[in-house]
Amino acid sequence: MAFIELKDVSYTYIEGDEPPVTALKNINLSVEKGEMIAIIGPNGSGKSTLAKLFNGLFQPTEGSVSVGGLNTSDQDKIWDIRQQVGMVFQNPDNQLIATMVEEEVAFGPENLGLPSATIKARVDEALALVGLEEFRQAAPHHLSGGQKQRVAIAGIFAMRPDCIVFDEPTAMLDPMGRKEVMATIQKLRSEGKTIVYITHFMEEVVDCDRVIILKEGEKILEGTPLEVFQARELIKDADLELPEVPYLVYRLREAGLQLPDEILTPESLVEKLCLLN
């Protein structure tokens, strides 16, 4: 059994007298320990709803979600599950509450009731991981967007979850902030964390093990980044855009250039073009 398993999951929002809205339909999905998967889809495709199912913030309307063998609908186990699966959201301003960076990072471990020496060690370790040791006394609201998001990541990391779900963590950041956050996620990955990465930017999924594309609440495609990038028609149908380099490679191949199709970055395209001569 995989670490996280979704079986025939559907989710319907029911609010007052409004007609019910089905956000997810028959999703089957498994995530192995240590894997990094990306979930990609346009606004309204059900990505954020899916994210909230991973740690029991939402319960599926139909089907089941299990984490480490525990069913998320088992209310007795919900805190065990949330300790295993942490979440980082889009807007860092909505996630930060303390007046000092180190207090912010200590907040989660404190709530776990850990002894203060352990909390301190975990805060040190988490701040080192995200590269913000020198900001420990700083006020979170004085930091840049990328730094704030790294504080949020450190706070989750300090709780030692096995898996972290990122729900569009770069949507509100500039290119520099986005780079910082992406690099931090790669570090978490090398620490062995399981990563679920939700985005609508295809260029961000290049490094993932597996990519899942959602459209109108359904899983329409699953595969490695390379496999997914080949499915140009499906990508277009899902209102997504192929990153520019793979798209250029596709066009050059169509025009008769003998390039391999596994090119994703400017560097590898240049290398392959040079080899052609």
Partner 1 sequence: MFVELKDVYYRYQAGEEDILRGVNLGIEKGEFVALVGHTGSGKSTLVQTINGLLRPSSGQVLIEGREIKEWESPIMVRKKVGLVFQYPEHQLFEETVFKDIAFGPKNLGWSEKEIKEKVKQAMDFVQLDYEELKDRSPFGLSGGQKRRAAIAGVLAMEPELLILDEPIAGLDPRGRRKLLDRINWLNEEQGITVLLISHRMEDAARRAQKLFVMNQGQIVLQGSPQEIFEQRDELYEIGLEIPPLNEVLWQLRKCGYPVRTDIFTIEDVEEEILRHWRGFRCSKI
Q: What does the per-residue mask of binding to partner 1 show for 147-176, with x meaning CB under 8 A?
A: ------------------------xx-xxx
CB of 29 to partner 1, least distance (A): 21
Q: What does the per-residue mask of binding to partner 1 show for 55-84, with x meaning CB under 8 A?
A: ------------------------------
**3-state DSSP assignment of residue 120:** helix
> Taking CB under 8 A as the rule, does residue 94 contact partner 1?
no
Both tokens of 193, joined, read 């964390």
> Taking CB under 8 A as the rule, does residue 183 contact partner 1?
no
> Taking CB under 8 A as the rule, does residue 21 contact partner 1?
no
**198-235 CB burial, b ≥16 within 10 A, e <16:** bbbebebbbebebbbbbbebbbbbeeebeebbbbeeeb
Both tokens of 35, joined, read 């894997």
> Taking CB under 8 A as the rule, does residue 90 contact partner 1?
yes
Beta strands in the chain (DSSP E): 4-13, 21-31, 36-40, 62-67, 70-71, 85-88, 163-167, 194-199, 210-215, 218-223
> Taking CB under 8 A as the rule, does residue 182 contact partner 1?
no
Pairing of strands 194-199, 163-167: parallel
Instruction: Scan residues 213-252 and list those touching partner 1 (CB under 8 A).
Output: 239-241, 243-245, 247-248, 251-252
Helical (H) or strand (E) element with 189: helix 175-190
Radius of gyration of the chain measured on its C-alpha atoms? 20
CB of 96 to partner 1, least distance (A): 17
Instruction: Return residues touching partner 1 (CB under 8 A).
Output: 42-44, 90, 144-145, 171-172, 174-177, 200-201, 203, 239-241, 243-245, 247-248, 251-252, 255, 257, 266-267, 269-271, 273-277
